[in-house]
Amino acid sequence: MSESLPQITIEDNDRLLRRVLFLHPDFIKPDGTPSSSSFSLKTGEKGLSVDIERLTTYDRSILDKSRFRLYFLKASFTTQLGLTNQHDPLPDNYAHSLITGNFSRSICRLLASSAKRINFP
Amino acid sequence: MIVLLADKPEQASMSTILKPDNEEIFPKWFVKRRNYVAPNSTVFPDITVFSGDIIDLLQKLNSFTSLKYNWDSYGAIPPSLMSIRNARRFLFKNANVSLPFYFVSPGINGEVMIELNKDQKAAEIYFNPDGSEELLLYENNNCILEKEDVSSYTDLIEFFNE
């Protein structure tokens, strides 16, 4: 996190965007939900990287439209699971945030199964 | 599967010789069809006997070997060869067992996950880079069993068939 960038408070109705690979290999199951793995933490990672929707654009957040699709989680849902949402602005991505807490396999599955797809592009 | 051409009939299996109807038009070659992998092998089984679903999963699994670092844009490391090998072995071993194979995906820490799904029941099996395995059973997305030592899949089979 950059010290010079002001942090905002994430509201309950904020939507948190996460990129999910849909090609080579696809992370999206036949029923349209993402794989649990796409909402898992890498070893040593502080939290799950997401973008606050109101601070970015879909075009910016998706990085590569040919490989990714965007899914969102309601901030209120992650807090209901006992997780914490924290704005973590980066120099090249002010919308960047982290969802922190206990990411057990079952929590990852709940996050993935509750994520809703953004109809973009 | 590969096709071998044999110039003598005794070099080919009698059951797989495709003898030309018109020897004046077709060259006097005999075709021997041979499976590319050793039949009855548990290491290289004959995948032509598997269902289409299993073959699709195996093909997707094989594609994981080409993944590079950061393949998910969040810094994921590629699946380890051990994870892929163990997942493949699981599919080979259980291809003809009555299990609802559904999905396979790489994990971000080098693991491979195979998901089984039937109605409101689901199972995730993780094949980790260190060779360990984890089994999680879900009903309506609620985890009802989590095992780190998966020496047998009795729980899994009973879960989907009870």
pLDDT at B16 over 60: no
Q: Which residues contact A108 (CB under 8 A, 6 or more apart)?
A: A36, A37, A39, A40
pLDDT confidence of residue B98: 84
CB spacing of A106 vs B64 below 8 angstroms? no
Token readout for B93 is 């071993």
Instruction: Count A/B contacts: CB-CB distance under 8 Å.
Output: 68
What are the residue ranges spanned by the domains of chain B? 1-49, 50-162
pLDDT confidence of residue A29: 93
pLDDT confidence of residue B49: 72
Specify the DSSP element, H or E, that contains A48.
strand A48-52
Closest CA to A120 of A69, A51, A50: A69
pLDDT confidence of residue B45: 60
What count of other Cβ atoms lies within 10 Å of the Cβ of residue A25? 19
Q: How far, in Å, are B11, B12, B21, B62 from residue B31 at the CA level?
A: 9, 7, 13, 30
> Which stretch of B32-36, B46-50, B78-82 has the lowest confidence by average pLDDT?
B32-36
CB contacts, 8 Å: B143 with chain A: 105-106, 109
Token readout for A101 is 């807490």
CB spacing of A37 vs B71 below 8 angstroms? no
Q: How far, in Å, are A40, A47, A120 from residue A44 at the CA level?
A: 12, 9, 31
Å between B64 CA and nearest CA of chain A: 7
pLDDT at B30 over 50: no
pLDDT band, residue B41 (cuts 50/70/90): low
Token readout for B61 is 């699994």
Q: How far, in Å, are A61, A109, A121, B99 from residue A93 at the CA level?
A: 9, 27, 20, 44
Mean local confidence (pLDDT), B129-153: 87
CB spacing of B105 vs A105 below 8 angstroms? no
CB contacts, 8 Å: A49 with chain B: 74
Here the ipTM equals 0.90
Task: Compare B144 and B34 and report the one with higher pLDDT.
Answer: B144
B121: phi then psi, degrees, rounded to nearest 5: -105, 140
pTM of the model: 0.80
C-beta separation of B78 from A37 below 8 A:
no
Task: Compare B154 and A95 and report the one with higher pLDDT.
Answer: A95
pLDDT at B2 over 50: no
pLDDT at B144 over 50: yes
Å between A37 CA and nearest CA of chain B: 5
Which positions of chain A have pLDDT values less than 70? 1-3
Best probe of the B interface among A62, A105, A113, by most B CBs < 10 A, is A105
Task: Compare B37 and A41 and report the one with higher pLDDT.
Answer: A41
Token readout for B75 is 């810094």
pLDDT confidence of residue B52: 83
Mean local confidence (pLDDT), B124-150: 91
Å between B45 CA and nearest CA of chain A: 24
Q: What is the dihedral of CA A43, A46, A50, A56, to 10 degrees?
A: -130
pLDDT confidence of residue B161: 83
Q: Percentage of residues in chain B with pLDDT exceeding 70?
A: 69
Q: How far, in Å, are A12, A104, B8, B116, B159 from residue B144 at the CA level?
A: 29, 13, 62, 15, 11
